[in-house]
Amino acid sequence: MKEIFENIPKIPYEGADSKNPLAFKFYDAKRLVMGKPMEEHLPFAMAWWHNLCANGTDMFGRGTTDKSFGAEEGTMEHARAKVDAGFEFMQKLGITCFCFHDVDLVPEAQDIKETNRRLDEISDYIKEKMDATGIKCLWGTANMFSNPRYMNGAGSTNSADVYCFAAAQIKKALDITVKLGGKGYVFWGGREGYETLLNTDVKFEQENIARLMKMAVSYGRSIGFTGDFYIEPKPKEPMKHQYDFDAATAIGFLRYYGLDQDFKLNIEANHATLAGHSFQHDLRISAINGMLGSIDANQGDYLLGWDTDEFPFNVYETTLCMYEVLKAGGITGGFNFDAKTRRPSYTKEDMFEAYILGMDSFALGLLNAAAMIEDGRIDAFIKERYASFESGIGAKIVSGEATLKELSEYAENMENPALPGSGRQEYLEGVVNSIMFR
């Protein structure tokens, strides 16, 4: 078969001193970190939509990047060319997984039966490639936001017919995910939200979303899907207000509707920051609730108020992310680069350099986070910070034996309490710097 990325070799690891743009400087797949190879800590995935489909089109202009891969766009020949390109790309980078939406794989036909036939055909071809290369599917999903029929959402639409169409798409996307052995199935509620409360029955819409998710769980389990369903929280864009605002909101929703046994969260860096949180905040909230499933590894731009889906470059952020991941004991999902090159970065080399940047940034994050844990100063500080709850009245509070009356008497019998110990934030930030730039 003809090579698509002809001038690009398999990307080697060359170390931090390398000036070769097509080499890893920090991602060394077999290097052991805390007793485990980097590649096991960091199961990276390629996002089919950005990498093989997005061509740089934005609201102000046409695409800048040729993603035809030698075939006419909108044809099944092009769908196959994307599979060839994707597998060559992943193999050259040593990426072990991919994620997809149904409509990333094939052009949508006028009639869903024909779209589904095309999905059957392309998934046979993808499966062949997976068997030949060992590359796996991290998760699948259905795109229920691009087509105009979803202008008012899918699960939250006001049209029962559109709701049924969404159900049909989910059913097929689940079939394909199971056929490809996908570990997870994502619900990103792009248009599940509202523009104005004046035309919206929020309670009814949320109940309908939950009904659709329950049907998806029941169907998925019936066809042998044993993986996790994921909600991917995002506060806004495209809707003004989206129901899965952030990790805490999504967890509340899942628990309220009894979906928390089947669902976890897929946390995206750029979505957490749009919600006014740090990436690590949403990771921590998910982890402490037993809901940290998978990660969409990208970054936003603090100067822009929208979802820019950039390749991760901010090593402070990847460090603090990997700190949360290591503390949580790892994730069962993976690290999906839901990221696109900037519009003026339109060459095939740019596609590779972007992934090298992302993989190196996460490798650095992993090394730093492991060093922070091995250093122990942060853990020791936190333990000491709450030490007053380890004995005496503090221990009684934690054990649940204390009453409000008893605490009140305790307070009445003491002088004013001393100020709590210093938070020492600046010291701790200095510890992070001294570890990162060791």
Instruction: Assess contact for 279 and 267: CB atoms under 8 A.
Output: yes
Q: What is the DSSP letter of 419?
A: P
Shortest spacing between CB 295 and ligand XLS, in angstroms: 11
Alpha-carbon dihedral of residues 283, 289, 290, 293, nearest 10 degrees? -40
Q: Which x/- pattern over 291-330 shows residues binding Ca ion (rule: CB under 5 A)?
A: -----x----------x-x---------------------
State the residues that interact with ligand XLS by CB under 6 A: 101, 141, 186, 188, 232, 234, 268, 296, 307, 338
Contact of residue 192 among Ca ion, ligand XLS, none (CB under 5-8 Å per partner type): none
Alpha-carbon dihedral of residues 192, 197, 198, 203, nearest 10 degrees? 70
**Residue 228 interacting with Ca ion (CB under 5 A):** no
- Distances in Å between the Cα of 87 and the Cα atoms of 30, 44, 104, 362, 428 are 21, 14, 15, 22, 43
Instruction: Assess contact for 266 and 294: CB atoms under 8 A.
Output: yes
- Catalytic one among 28, 84, 104, 338? 104
* Whole-angstrom distance, CA of residue 431 vs CA of residue 102: 46
Contact of residue 186 among Ca ion, ligand XLS, none (CB under 5-8 Å per partner type): ligand XLS
Does residue 262 carry a catalytic annotation? no
Shortest spacing between CB 338 and Ca ion, in angstroms: 4
Is the Cβ of residue 296 or residue 324 nearer to Ca ion in the bound state?
296
Total number of residues that touch Ca ion (CB under 5 A):
5
**Residue 84 interacting with Ca ion (CB under 5 A):** no
User: Can you read off the two tokens belonging to residue 162?
Assistant: 């559109």
Please, which of residues 52-71 interact with Ca ion by CB under 5 A?
none
Contact of residue 141 among ligand XLS, Ca ion, none (CB under 5-8 Å per partner type): ligand XLS
Q: Which x/- pattern over 269-298 shows residues binding Ca ion (rule: CB under 5 A)?
A: ---------------------------x--
Shortest spacing between CB 99 and ligand XLS, in angstroms: 8
3-state secondary structure of 390: coil
Task: Give backbone dihedrals phi and psi of 187, rounded to 5 degrees, phi first.
Answer: -115, 110
Is the Cβ of residue 178 or residue 267 nearer to ligand XLS in the bound state?
267
Is the Cβ of residue 115 or residue 242 nearer to ligand XLS in the bound state?
242
For residue 403, the one-letter residue type is: T
Instruction: Assess contact for 11 and 44: CB atoms under 8 A.
Output: no
Q: HSE on the CB side for 375, CA within 13 Å?
A: 18
Q: What is the DSSP letter of 26?
A: S
Does residue 101 carry a catalytic annotation? yes
Is the Cβ of residue 78 or residue 182 nearer to Ca ion in the bound state?
182
- Catalytic one among 50, 78, 101, 271? 101
Is the Cβ of residue 282 or residue 307 nearer to ligand XLS in the bound state?
307
Contact of residue 154 among Ca ion, ligand XLS, none (CB under 5-8 Å per partner type): none
Contact of residue 246 among ligand XLS, Ca ion, none (CB under 5-8 Å per partner type): none
Instruction: Assess contact for 138 and 97: CB atoms under 8 A.
Output: yes
Is the Cβ of residue 126 or residue 272 nearer to Ca ion in the bound state?
272
3-state secondary structure of 268: strand
From candidates 88, 205, 246, 338, binder to Ca ion by CB under 5 A: 338
Is the Cβ of residue 321 or residue 370 nearer to Ca ion in the bound state?
321
Is the Cβ of residue 38 or residue 239 nearer to ligand XLS in the bound state?
239
By residue count, the chain amounts to 438
DSSP character string of 120-146: HHHHHHHHHHHHHH--EEEEEE---SS
Strand partners, 58: 61
Shortest spacing between CB 389 and ligand XLS, in angstroms: 40
| 179 closest CA partner among 114, 128, 113 | 128
Which residues 6+ apart lie within 8 Å of 350 measured at CB?
341
Shortest spacing between CB 213 and ligand XLS, in angstroms: 15
Which residues 6+ apart lie within 8 Å of 30 measured at CB?
37, 38, 39
The residue of the chain with the least Cβ separation from ligand XLS equals 188
**Residue 244 interacting with Ca ion (CB under 5 A):** no
User: Can you read off the two tokens belonging to residue 427?
Assistant: 């010291």
Active-site amino acid positions: 101, 104
User: Which residues lie near Ca ion (CB under 5 A)?
Assistant: 268, 296, 307, 309, 338
